[in-house]
Amino acid sequence: MDEQLKAELSKQGIFTTSLQELYNWSRKSSLWPLNFGLACCAIEMIATTMARYDLARFGAEVFRPSPRQADLMIVAGTVTKKMAPQVVRLYNQMPEPKYVISMGACAISGGPFKQGYNVLKGIDRFIPVDVYIPGCPPRPEALIDAFMFLQKKIDAQQITGAARPRHLDADQPSEFPIPEFGPHDLQPTSNPAIWHPPLVQISQAGPDESRHD
């Protein structure tokens, strides 16, 4: 519908909308996060839901204790390799449409524990992430910002056509393979269908010649 005509009609007291707008508006206004935290970022997530920051203003006050009732997974904290299969399993148990916020340095990349043997170097190796929040831990304002960003993202989704989201495309998977515990590492170490190592220009760095041990 023409935006100008719509504005003209609303001046006359006639409200018009499209199914897509209604659909997106209702979904973005009632995102129910999954009630689970992994580390210190979870404390900030809890603070966000409390009276001072009040995530309820954005329709996300109902933290669900079951993945079957949740729309949004906030991966708040360090994902250890021992925990990673459970996180992926919880994600798989959530019904579509579902979204993931990767909160904090650890959930993005492993953070300060990146070079350790037991920490997953980013949850995006196994599940698709919609919004990343940097910080260690991010402040509640940052989580609210990420939440509003996700709402904008949902609002812009097309319900038909080639650009439609995953849950409206029957060919797209809604579940992702759960990694298994191997003798040295998780198997596989990442899901190649959704994650590739980022392209970094290594040759520009060059050997560090300033150090003389």
Partner 1 sequence: MNLDTIKSELEANIPGCHAEIIANASPAAQHSLLIAPEHAFAAATWLREAPHLRFDFCSNVTGIDWPTKEVTTKIKVLKQIDGAEKEVEESQKTTTPGYLEVVYHLYSHELNHGPLPLRLRTADRDANTHLPSLTPIWRSAEYQEREIFDLYGVHFTGHPDLRRLLMWDEFVDHPMRRDYVDPDDYEYEPTAHDEVLTRATQHATEAGRP
Residue 135 within binding range of partner 1, rule CB under 8 A: no
Does residue 197 bind partner 1 (CB under 8 A)? yes
Structural contact between residues 150 and 74, judged by C-beta atoms closer than 8 angstroms: no
Under the binding rule (CB under 8 A), the answer on residue 212 touching partner 1 is no
Q: Per CB under 8 A, which region of 16-24, 48-56, 87-95, 204-212 contacts partner 1?
A: 204-212
Q: Give the count of beta carbons closer than 10 Å to the beta carbon of residue 23.
A: 15
Q: Should residue 134 be labelled a site residue for partner 1 when binding is judged by CB under 8 A?
A: no
Q: How far apart are CA 96 and CA 174, in angstroms?
A: 7
Structure token digits, residue 5: 């005509």
59 binds partner 1 (CB under 8 A): no
- The pairing of strands 99-103 and 131-133 is parallel
Confirm or reject binding of residue 202 to partner 1 (CB under 8 A).
yes
28 touching partner 1, by CB under 8 A: no
183 binds partner 1 (CB under 8 A): yes
Phi/psi of residue 187, nearest 5 degrees: -125, 115
The reply to whether 3 sits near partner 1 by the rule CB under 8 A is no
Write the burial class of residue 172 (CB in 10 Å: 0-12 exposed, 13-18 middle, 19+ buried).
exposed
Distance CA 184, CA 140 (A): 37
Nearer to partner 1, 2 or 208 (CB): 208
Task: Name 119's bridge partners.
Answer: 80
- What lies within 8 Å, CB to CB, of 59 at 6+ separation is 28, 29, 30, 31
Rounded Cα distance, 179 and 82, in Å: 10
Q: Which lies closer to partner 1 via its Cβ, residue 89 or residue 164?
A: 89
- Element housing 105 (H / E): helix 104-109
Contact range with partner 1 by CB under 8 A, out of 7-15, 88-96, 142-150, 184-192 = 184-192
Q: Is 13 in the site for partner 1 (CB under 8 A)?
A: no
Site pattern 65..104 for partner 1 (x: CB under 8 A): ----------------xx----------------------
Residue 205 binds to partner 1 (criterion: CB under 8 A): yes
Q: Is 160 in the site for partner 1 (CB under 8 A)?
A: no
**Contacting residues toward partner 1, per CB under 8 A:** 81-82, 110, 114-118, 121, 181-185, 189-190, 197-203, 205, 207-208, 211
